[in-house]
A and B are shown apart, each in its own frame.
Chain A
């Protein structure tokens, strides 16, 4: 699986948009970009994933560059409950059992400031 690089920490003011970058310059054509987050003392929670088009759901938006070498997760109106470690993961989506596992990097610790 391709390696990802994320800033170790970020702060964002409550009510503002939080933009979390991720570099994945070695991503291959069949690999998707996934985002999970882990709130303190909880298990990771799926947020969103995408291949090359921008994606949006009720939690966040995912912007993937045209060359797919980087992406940005956007939390449009951050709240205190969004304080968590955010993990950017790339892996194949069309799996043959054995590709279903997730490889977590170090993530970005996002702190929402009141």
Chain B
């Protein structure tokens, strides 16, 4: 099965700054997704990363706060902008190819101080 690598694996950031998380898949995937997992909670979908076009955001998430890029079929980035302590979460990248099930990266653990 395909492997997703996320960078960084963890970070501690100052409030008001931004962090860009990278997601690299070792083979081409049709779809890529970004999820957030707040402490002790389940996963919530942020957006679907679309290649060559704007991401599709779920209710409650906006592009200005979580800009996403997907320049090709193996790579995507998620930026968490103007961070506050409430953004402290694990951010997970997921990929899917046709005929296979979705697979996930190990996540990026973000702490905002």
* A and B: bona fide binding partners: yes
Known A100-B31, A101-B33; contact A45-B45, beta-carbon cutoff 8 A: no
* CB <8 Å contact, B106 and A102: no
Question: CA separation between A45 and B31, bound complex, in Å?
Answer: 17
Mark the stretch among B14-22, B60-68, B77-85, B97-105 that contacts chain A.
Answer: B97-105
What is the number of contacts between chain A and chain B, taking CB atoms within 8 Å? 47
Query: CA–CA, A46 to B4, complex, Å?
Result: 14
What class of interface size applies to chain B in its complex with A?
20 to 34
Q: Quick one: closest B residue to A107, CB to CB?
A: B42
Cβ contact within 8 Å between B101 and A49: yes
Contact A44 B43 (CB under 8 A): yes
Q: Which residue of A lies closest to B6 (CB)?
A: A43
User: Looking at the complex, which one of B33, B44, B45, B101 makes contact with A46 (CB distance below 8 Å)?
Assistant: B101
B residues near A34, Cβ cutoff 8 Å: 101
Shortest Cβ gap from B70 to chain A (Å): 14
A34 to B103, CA, bound (A): 13
Q: Which of A43, A101, A104 contacts B48 (CB 8 A)?
A: A101
SS class of chain A's interface: helix, strand, loop or mixed? loop
CB of A103 closer than 8 Å to a CB of B: yes
Report the separation of the CA atoms of residues A62 and B33 in the bound assembly, to the nearest whole angstrom.
26
Contact bitstring B33-49, A, C-beta under 8 A = 1, else 0: 10100000011110010
Residues of B within 8 A of A41 (CB): 106-107
CB-defined contacts of A46 to chain B, threshold 8 Å: 101-103
Contacts of B106 in A (CB 8 A): 41-43
Which single residue of chain A is at the shortest CB-CB distance from B43? A104
Q: Are B42 and A87 in contact (CB under 8 A)?
A: yes
Give B69 Cβ to nearest chain A Cβ, in Å.
19
Given A43-B106, A43-B107, A87-B42, A100 contacting B101 (CB threshold 8 A): no
Measured CB to CB, the residues of A under 8 A from B are 34, 41-46, 49, 87, 97-98, 100-107
